[in-house]
Amino acid sequence: MESKERIMEEFRRKGFRATPQRIVIAQIVLKSKDHPTAEQIYQAVKKKYPTLSPATVYQTLHLLTEIGLLQELGFSDRVSRYDPNASPHINIICRNCGKIQDYQAESIKGLWSQIIMELGFKPIGQRLDIYRHCDQCQANMHNNQVL
Amino acid sequence: MESKERIMEEFRRKGFRATPQRIVIAQIVLKSKDHPTAEQIYQAVKKKYPTLSPATVYQTLHLLTEIGLLQELGFSDRVSRYDPNASPHINIICRNCGKIQDYQAESIKGLWSQIIMELGFKPIGQRLDIYRHCDQCQANMHNNQVL
DNA sequence: TCTTAAGTAATAATAACTCTTAAATAAGTT
DNA sequence: AACTTATTTAAGAGTTATTATTACTTAAGA
């Protein structure tokens, strides 16, 4: 799902041009594991492509979301993060630093189909968050209290 | 949980003043069933309290979130919605109009404790969204295609 | 009632994101 | 390989929900 060829194919199949900008952005976000923000993606892309504009990043991320390769996760700090994993899974999110890691629980599949059956309609998407304080932030909080 | 006395008690117990503004805002959002936005809450409160400022609404909503009576749900349109239901439940959300209704599935409790056991830590919160197009929006979309 | 720390209203400031537009280009056609 | 044109990009202006600031007001304990 992350090869340049595969990405180009995916854009064209949906009727969009496979431009170098789009390909670089797609490669970076699709292989990411930490659900980066648009700004983080922009900074990463700029290294390889210094003239690229933030607007292009936003536009491409929306496009990738539209064609189903990405999920946009909105948060109350108004900064979205982008999740390349479209299948039902749990986002384990640190309430302090915002870091996210995916958790693919075996138990989710079963639960999921059960809930869909109960609901009586087929969802077009889902989002499952679990909030905590990650080990690093927990350690920092402890240190600050001690000092 | 929604009576004036109960709300006043809750504010004071956490060391905050029980002002009329806070009480009115809390009453409206805690009894709401549709996960209103800050703007919607502001409009509702203004009817009873015309001089109230939007900043007070935001501040009070954050306070209610902090003391655990409310959950703030961020979205990718950067408009937060406020959920008075703190226990694990599913938000059924329309991707078109943004309307939210809660779904208290029996199956969730079991799933939830199972996942917590698997994870090996105790979460400080959760958010479970299911996305769809609500009946009304689905009807409208159909009409627009026909026209 | 008095005192004062905490809260409010008004408004300026912020920042993520979106819009606009002129210049550039992907990709089909010749 | 050059031609054509609808699509895309870069740059910067614009938008808007939310936050910060500050002078005035008030809840609530003494």
Name the segment(s) of chain A with CATH classification 3.30.1490.190. Answer: 87-147
> Terminus-to-terminus CA distance in chain A, angstroms?
48
Three-class DSSP category at B137 = helix
pLDDT digits (tens, 9 = 90+) for A70-83: 999 999 999 999 99
Characterize the bridge pairing of strands B125-132 and A125-132: antiparallel
**Which residues touch B57 (CB under 8 Å, ≥6 apart)?**
B25, B38, B41, B42, B45
- Could you tell me which CATH number the domain at B1-84 has? 1.10.10.10
- Which residue intervals of chain B bear CATH 1.10.10.10? 1-84
Per-residue model confidence (pLDDT) at position B1: 54
Q: Which residues of A touch B125 (CB under 8 A)?
A: 95, 130-131
Q: Which of B46, B42, B64, B45 is nearest to B54 (CA)?
A: B42
In this predicted structure, the answer to whether residue B147 has a pLDDT above a threshold of 70 is no
| pLDDT interval class at A107 (50, 70, 90) | confident
Fold of B87-147: Dna Ligase; domain 1 (3.30.1490)
For the ranges A1-10, A35-44, B40-49, which has the lowest average pLDDT? A1-10
Phi-psi region at B5: left, alpha or beta (left = phi > 0; alpha = psi -120 to 50): alpha
pLDDT over 50 (residue A115): yes
- B121 vs A contacts (CB less than 8 Å): 132
Strand C lies under 7 A from the Cβ of residue A147: no
Give the relative orientation of helices A20-31 and A38-48 as an angle to the nearest 10 degrees: 120
**CA dist., res. A104 & res. A91, Å (int):** 9
Rounded Cα–Cα distance for residues B97 and B35 (Å): 13
Mutation for testing the A interface, residue in B127, B136, B141 having most A CBs under 10 Å = B127
Residue-wise pLDDT for B86-120, tens only, equals: 789 999 999 988 899 999 877 788 878 888 888 88
